[in-house]
Amino acid sequence: MLIKALTDEQILATRDVMLQLRPAITPDAYLPTVRRMMETDGYHLAAVLDQGVVRAVAGYRFMEMLYCGRILSVDDLNTDDQSRSSGFGKLLLDWLKNEAREHTCGELHLDSGTHREQAHRFYFRERLTITAYHFRVRL
């Protein structure tokens, strides 16, 4: 079953899986941070549940860019460490692609840390390609 996490209870249910990907966020800061991002930045949260347990989670937003038009940009995508290779990530990524189409997006974008080689193999299998470098500088 796939849900959009809208209530505090639903958002908190995604916390353990999300913090596997984003360990710098403290458990107490998770709900207020997600709520703020939803209110100010158009952040959305979706999760795959299996037997009532969150197995995969994605944070995403819609945006428009001059070079590519309207896109769905995936900020966060993670499958629970104990549930990998069970189809939950594919289910969620397929849902995200459909969500993008339903919101008239021409593309789905996703950044992934260079060290996440297992995730990259999954993205390549799902026909995502590397089209750019992402640069940053700490300020």
Give the tens place of pLDDT for each residue, 80-93. Answer: 989 888 999 999 99
Give the DSSP H or E segment for 134: none
Instruction: Tell me the pLDDT of the chain averaged across its residues.
Output: 94
Looking at per-residue pLDDT, the higher value among 136 and 79 belongs to 79
Residue 23 φ then ψ, to 5°: -70, -15
- Taking the complete model, does pTM exceed 0.85, yes or no? yes
Measured CA to CA, the distance from residue 79 to residue 64 in angstroms comes to: 27
Q: Is the pLDDT of residue 135 over 90?
A: no
| One CATH from 3.30.2420.10, 3.40.630.30, 3.50.50.60, 3.40.30.10 for 2-125 | 3.40.630.30
pLDDT band at 124 (very low <50, low <70, confident <90, very high): confident
* Mean pLDDT (whole number) for 42-57: 97
Residue ranges of the alpha helices (H) in the chain? 8-13, 15-21, 27-41, 88-102, 117-125
pLDDT value of residue 130: 87
Q: Is the pLDDT of residue 4 over 90?
A: yes
Q: Is the pLDDT of residue 114 over 80?
A: no
Please name the amino acid found at residue 68: C
Alpha carbon distances (Å) from 85 to 34, 78, 113, 118: 27, 12, 19, 10
Measured CA to CA, the distance from residue 78 to residue 83 in angstroms comes to: 10
* Mean pLDDT (whole number) for 2-12: 98
Q: Is the pLDDT of residue 116 over 90?
A: no
Give 38-78 as a DSSP string. Answer: HHHH--EEEEEEETTEEEEEEEEEEEEETTTEEEEEEEEEE
Per domain, the residue ranges of the chain are 2-125
* Mean pLDDT (whole number) for 123-137: 85
CA dihedral 114, 14, 23, 61 (to 10 degrees): 50
Q: Is the pLDDT of residue 26 over 80?
A: yes
Token pair listed for 23:
């360990």
